[in-house]
Structure 1
């Protein structure tokens, strides 16, 4: 799938995702409106260096994978999700384009997988291809042993996978200050927050 095709898919998904398929509407009734309120609040957070694998199966520490001098956008999804997660991926795809590439990249973009069993590197790679993810968009999983400790360290407590709410963290690793966003976040929300982050000396 080329980039233009991916953009067309994302446009359709972003309209469809808040409702999801009919069979899932009961389970996700609290996600059934596109007018979800965005809640944000700044918090201090020390990123853990717990072991993770990326979509290519490469292992490393979570914190070590991230450039220290760029703002950071984290999004929490799981790959078998057919309701809110495709909409989150569609938002991130637009953001991925907006952030630029290479040395001019404005922020580090990371999808954090929350399903410890189903979110294998192969599933991450498949989803990344579907949404035309660029090379600077990281897809990371802690796997069966590491996912829960990683999510706890990031103050994300999903409970049942199907009940999790769209959640993003945007901040600057060198200051440790992050804003947590929940709900129907737009690409403009995320890009504006990135551009408001202080520079690292």
Structure 2
């Protein structure tokens, strides 16, 4: 396990404290994890996305037959909330690999399609030792706001994007929204329930 993963794992289990990162300043406490009370029906347009390998396809059609998905939003130049998001997803990825489970796909969608080219996403995936289950995706600059809006995410300045995860199924469009500092085990449990 990489040193960065160890530090974040320690932070998530309470054995080490990372600086609190917020959108309004570095001294804001991280938001506690909040799981939506019910699944949301999200009508996603089949917007074309390109992954870290340069492969493109509609986001719905590409993942509709693959079982549950865990969707997050980030950008590779982020030095605050995205680092915790990436580390949380890395722990989910590792725990599923250790358990020998494969149905869950992890989808990290960039909010910065201008700078986050497939090469930049591939470098980030390598830095996180991402498995084949973890796709790093970008829509075009013109399609990104529509994709974010479909998930109820504000397409405002990238620095103010929310720390939010969606666990669900692309075929049905049913998702559970998880906001704040998420527990990897809780995300895995939601994914298993969605399978």
Alignment of 1:10 onto 2:19 = no
Alignment of 1:32 onto 2:16 = no
Q: State whether residues 10 and 87 of structure 1, in contact with CA within 8 Å, keep that contact through their aligned partners in structure 2.
A: no
Please name the residue that 1:61 is paired with: 58
Match of 2:159 among 162, 184, 195: 162
Q: Label 1:162 to 1:31 Cα distance change in 2 as closer, same or farther (>3 A).
A: farther
Q: Distance in 1 between matches of 2:140 and 2:6?
A: 30
Cα offset, 1:90, TM superposition: 0.5
Cα offset, 1:174, TM superposition: 3.5
Alignment of 1:186 onto 2:183 = yes
Number of residue pairs matched by the alignment: 187
Between stretches 74-83 and 154-163, larger displacement belongs to: 154-163
Q: State whether residues 17 and 82 of structure 1, in contact with CA within 8 Å, keep that contact through their aligned partners in structure 2.
A: no
Please name the residue that 2:113 is paired with: 116
Q: Tell me the TM-score normalized by structure 1.
A: 0.82
Unaligned runs of 5+ in 1: none
Please name the residue that 2:80 is paired with: 83
Tell me the secondary structure at the aligned position of residue 133 of structure 1.
coil
Q: State whether residues 104 and 133 of structure 2, in contact with CA within 8 Å, keep that contact through their aligned partners in structure 1.
A: no
Between stretches 44-53 and 8-17, larger displacement belongs to: 8-17
Between stretches 79-88 and 152-161, larger displacement belongs to: 152-161
Unaligned runs of 5+ in 2: 12-16
Q: Label 1:141 to 1:166 Cα distance change in 2 as closer, same or farther (>3 A).
A: same
